[in-house]
Structure 1
Amino acid sequence: MSFFVTRKENYMLINGEEKALAAPTTLNELLTQLGYRVALVAVERNGAIIKQADFGTTTITDADKLEIVSFVGGG
């Protein structure tokens, strides 16, 4: 299924929801601001998986579309 989303200025898509982004930031900083445990997530940016080693140097802007998956233990 395909659909088009018209973005408002300074908003990006995270897991299909619009989120405000005040300024470009690193992926590591964004994940921390959103309350994720950085060591326990996988991130896809604009269709490409980002390695955790690159979270600190990957700059995120309001033009990006992110999918964030958290790993949860259980049994």
Structure 2
Amino acid sequence: MNVTINGAAHEVPQGTTVAQAVRRLTPATAGVAVAVNDEVVSRGSWESTPLADRDRIEVLTAVQGG
């Protein structure tokens, strides 16, 4: 199935979860926020939230700096 992650097309297997999509992009375990089709998905729901064909996923990571 095809999804868009941070503006780029990705082919992912049927049943891919939000958590699996996040792991494709970043090894970070903290400071990460996710929205699917403009709806924020709480971290506690990532493992149980499946993606659907043509979903739009935005993965945002916090950046420290000065």
- TM-score, with structure 1 as normaliser: 0.72
Aligned to 1:18: 9
Measure the CA separation in 2 of the matches of 1:67 and 1:35: 12
Instruction: Name the SS of the counterpart of 2:20 in structure 1.
Output: helix
Instruction: Specify the structure having the higher radius of gyration (Cα).
Output: 1
- Stretches of 4+ aligned residues off by more than 6 angstroms: none
Task: Confirm or deny: 8 A CA contact 1:45 1:64 kept in the other structure.
Answer: yes
In structure 1, stretches of 5+ residues that fail to align are 1-9
Root-mean-square deviation (CA, aligned residues, Å) is 1.6
In structure 2, stretches of 5+ residues that fail to align are none
- TM-score, with structure 2 as normaliser: 0.80
Distance 1:57 1:70, change over 3 A: same
Task: Confirm or deny: 8 A CA contact 1:31 1:38 kept in the other structure.
Answer: no
- Percent identity (aligned): 27
